[in-house]
Amino acid sequence: MPLRRWWQSAQALAGAPGVRGLGAGSEEWVQAARDVAASGGTLYALWVAAASAGAPHTSVYGAYLTDVGVLVVELALPAGGDPLYPGLEAIFPAASRLQRAAFDLSAVRCSDPDRRPWLNHEKPYEFIRVDGEGVHEIGVGPVHAGTIEPGHFRFSVVGEKVLRLEAHLGYVHKGIEQRFAELPILQGHRLAARVSGDSAVAFSWAYCQALEGMSGCAVPPRAAWLRAACLELERLANHLGDLGALGNDVGFAFGLAQFSRLKEDLLRAVASAFGRRYLFDIVTPGGMALDLTAEAARSLINAVRAVCSETAELRTIYDEHEGVRDRFTGAGRLQPELAARLGVIGLAGRASGQARDLRVDLPCPPYTELAVAKAVQQDGDVAARVAVRFEEVRESGRLLAQLLSALPAGAHAATVDTPADGAFGVGLIEGWRGPVLVALHAGPAGSVRRCHPHDPSWQNWPALEYAIIGNIVPDFPVINKSFNLSYSGADL
C-alpha cells in the first residue's frame, strides 16, 4: 500500500503516540497527499515555520490523520527566490483556507488559485455569486445579535431555500501564533488554554504533551488520570450547554432551562473540587496544577451521576417531542460520503459515519486502560449530531466514575526540563469538538521558535456550507449550533 510506504519511512516524533514525521520534496509533498487521500486519510493541519537562526529553511508542514497514525510531512522551501509551494486544495478541500491563512501569517504563497485574503480585512472579500432568476443574497454578520463570536455568512437563496452559503471568518484574529514565540516554552500552556476557551483542557494538554515528549518528561500516572477526568468534565459541560441551546433554537425553552440548570450544577461541582468553574491552567507541564482529595472525588462522582441520570430522562423527552423531532430530523444532513470527501472530523464527523476518536484510535494514558466506546451515527443530520452528544454524555459519565474512583496514588506533577534548541514535538488530544493538535518547535534558551495550535473547526466549517444547502434560512441557527464550531480556534 502506498501509505504504508510513507509510514515505514517516517520517524517517530516526540509527544503524542502514533505520530511520525518525514521530509519531502515538492513532488513527494503532493504524492504523499494523494496517497493519504487514496487510503481514506485526511489532511488535518497545515502551517508554515519561517527560517530563523536555528532553522535555515522555511518549511511547510502538513499533518494527516490516517488509519495507521498521524503522518507529519515537512516540505523545506529553497532559500531565496519565490517560495511558491504546491497547493493541496484539489486533493483536500479544507486545504485552501489553511493555505490562505498561512500566507496571511507568513507571506509564503502556494499554487492555490484562490488568492482571497483570509485574515486581512482591509482588502475587499469577493464572495462567489450565484446567478439566476429569483436568486438574491442575504448577508448575516459579522456582528451578531447574540453573544457569539463574529463571522460573516453570505446566503444565496430563492425564497427561503438556500442554494449556497459561503462563510468568511478571521474577525477574531489575535496574533496567537506570534504571541507564542514571545513566551518561554515552559509557560506556553497558559496561552494554549486560551486558543479556544471552551477547549482549555484539550489545548493545554496537547501543548504539554508536545513539550513533555521533547524534554523526555514522564508524567505521573495520577496526573494522567486527573487530566483525563478534566477532559471528560470539559466534554460533559459543553455537551450539556449545546443540548439546551439546540432545544431553544427549535422553540423548546424547557430544554434550555433544564440543561442550563444541569450545566450549572456540574460547574458548581467542578468549582468545589478544583477551585474553578472552567478548567483553565489546571493542566501544567509535567502534570497538574493541583491534586484532588478523596472527598472531592467522591462528591464529583455523585454530581456527575446525578447530571447524567437527568440527561437520560431528558433524552427521552427530546426523542418523543413531536415538534423537536420534526425540526431535528433531516435538517442539515451531511451524508457520510460527502463527510469523508470533505474530511469532516470529531463530533460532526462521527454523526456522519466517520468513526474516528483519538481516545480509541491513538490513545494516550490513561485512555489506554479505559476502553472508550465511540458514539457514531450514520444519518448526518441535526438529530444525529444531537444523538452523538447524548451518547457521549453517558459515556463521559461512565469514564468519570472510573477515573475518579480509581485514581492512582503518587505525585500529581513532575519536573519538566527545557527542551533543546531545534526540538520538535506534536501533541494530539481528542477534545469535545474533535482532535486538537499542537505542533511545537523549540528555540534557543527555552524559547518557542514556532507553535501551531489547530482546532478541528478548520475542517468542519466548509462542511457547514454544504449541510445547509436545500434547507430553509430559518433552519440555519439550529444547523449551525448542531456543529457548534469555534471562531477563535480558526483565527490565530
**If you write DSSP's letter for every residue of 383-395 in order, what string do you get?**
HHHHHHHHHHHHH
Q: Is the pLDDT reported for residue 361 higher than 70?
A: yes
How large is the average pLDDT for residues 119-140?
90
Closest CA relative to residue 206, chosen from 470, 440, 389: 440
Rounded to the nearest 10 degrees, how much is the dihedral formed by the CA atoms of 286, 290, 291, 295? -160
Q: Is residue 199 a contact partner of residue 431, using CB atoms and an 8 Å limit?
A: yes
343 secondary structure, DSSP code? T
pLDDT of residue 81: 61
**Band of residue 54 on the pLDDT scale cut at 50, 70, 90:** low
pLDDT of residue 82: 66
Percentage of residues in the chain having pLDDT higher than 90? 89
pLDDT digits (tens, 9 = 90+) for 413-469: 999 999 999 999 999 999 999 999 999 999 999 999 999 999 999 999 999 999 999
Q: How far is CA 381 from CA 349, 376, 377, 434, in A?
A: 11, 12, 9, 18
How large is the average pLDDT for residues 103-112?
92
pLDDT digits (tens, 9 = 90+) for 142-152: 988 777 889 99
Burial of 338 (0-12, 13-18, 19+ CB in 10 A): middle
For 253-336, list the strands marked E by DSSP: 283-284, 287-288
pLDDT of residue 492: 80
pLDDT of residue 121: 86
Mean of all residue pLDDT scores within the chain: 95
How large is the average pLDDT for residues 223-239?
98
Q: Is residue 149 a contact partner of residue 136, using CB atoms and an 8 Å limit?
A: no
Closest CA relative to residue 439, chosen from 428, 448, 452, 430: 452
Residue corresponding to grid cell 470527501: 341
How large is the average pLDDT for residues 43-59?
84
Q: Is residue 247 a contact partner of residue 259, using CB atoms and an 8 Å limit?
A: yes
Q: How far is CA 453 from CA 338, 427, 489, in A?
A: 26, 9, 8
How large is the average pLDDT for residues 341-345?
95
H helix intervals, 10-47: 26-38
pTM: 0.96
Closest CA relative to residue 356, chosen from 131, 36, 11, 42: 42
Q: Domains in the chain, please, with CATH? A: 2-106 (3.30.460.80), 188-456 (1.10.645.10)
pLDDT digits (tens, 9 = 90+) for 55-77: 678 999 999 999 999 999 999 99
pLDDT of residue 1: 57
pLDDT digits (tens, 9 = 90+) for 311-333: 999 999 999 999 999 999 999 99
Burial of 337 (0-12, 13-18, 19+ CB in 10 A): exposed
